Amino acid sequence: MTKKALIAVGGNSLIRAGERGTLDEQMANAKATAKSIAKMIKLGWEVVVTHGNGPQAGAALIRSERAKAEVYTHTLDMCVATTQSEIGYILQKALRYELKELGIDKQVTCVPTMVEVDENDPAYQKPAKPIGPFYTKKEAQAKERSLGWDIVEDSSRGYRRVVASPEPKKIVEFDIIKSVIDMGIVTIALGGGGVPIVRKDGEIIGSEAVIDKDRSSALLAGLLDVDLFIISTDADRAYLNFKKKNETGLDEVQVDQMQKYFEEGHFAPGSMGPKVESSIRFIRNGGKHCIITTYEHLMDALEGKAGTHLIP
């Protein structure tokens, strides 16, 4: 019986630390990520790929804002939609190339995905997800007045817009995604956590929000009943006391113990925290096995030689 895995690719897999994020850089990084995924497919895994879009969505917002005197602007949900296609195209090309290199005859496609959220989600009352460029205090206050943005000071580097990060409730294209997977096609979906939408009187309305990619990926992984949920990030595993003298890497951890570590505050909210939280959700909802690692260590992780393995 074919084993099924969902791989949530982090934004770092396309734009590495210190890079500008040029298309050439993203293409090269996508090929490196795709090489590991293609090897996994060669081992007999059926693979679904999801991905982040933080840097790309930020770039799209900057383009929209700076060109507003000449062309129409994009809302945040539209930026998520456009980056789904942009990144999907990059990953699709890379995966097709690497599969061909391994002699694997498989189609690869991208499914643009909307995710329904609750307009009454408490996250809308306390927007906390920074997006887009940094502004001076004067610029930020002008945006706040004219556009109704929520603005916060970010790490003493300036001021940034913050938006809500609501809980994903329903993957609108789930039936389509499942049908494509069942056809044996390598499927890229749920880019950037999905385009956030709400329903009003039966109508779909885009929401100015950002859905956490790992949370929505955990939801999709559970709905697909995958055998393995992989969160690909920039750390080879999760660590206790990260970057401290008593730093300890986690290998295999039962979900109750990981919950305890999470509640003790070992995982930073802006980095490893959402990944650990999402892996716990997946296991709590009936998932069998979750791995947190980098794409470089993926093959070793499949053999239990690398990564953090979360189990029931």
The residues assigned a catalytic role are 11-12, 129, 213, 275
- Per-residue tokens: 200: 């009003």
Phi/psi at 253 (nearest 5 deg)?
Answer: -135, 135
Residue 69 burial by CB count (10 A; 0-12/13-18/19+): exposed, middle or buried?
exposed
Long-range Cβ contacts of 56-63 (<8 Å, 24+ apart): 56/11, 56/14, 56/15, 56/21, 56/83, 56/86, 56/87, 56/192, 57/83, 57/131, 57/192, 57/210, 58/131, 58/132, 58/133, 59/21, 61/131, 61/132, 61/133, 62/132, 62/133
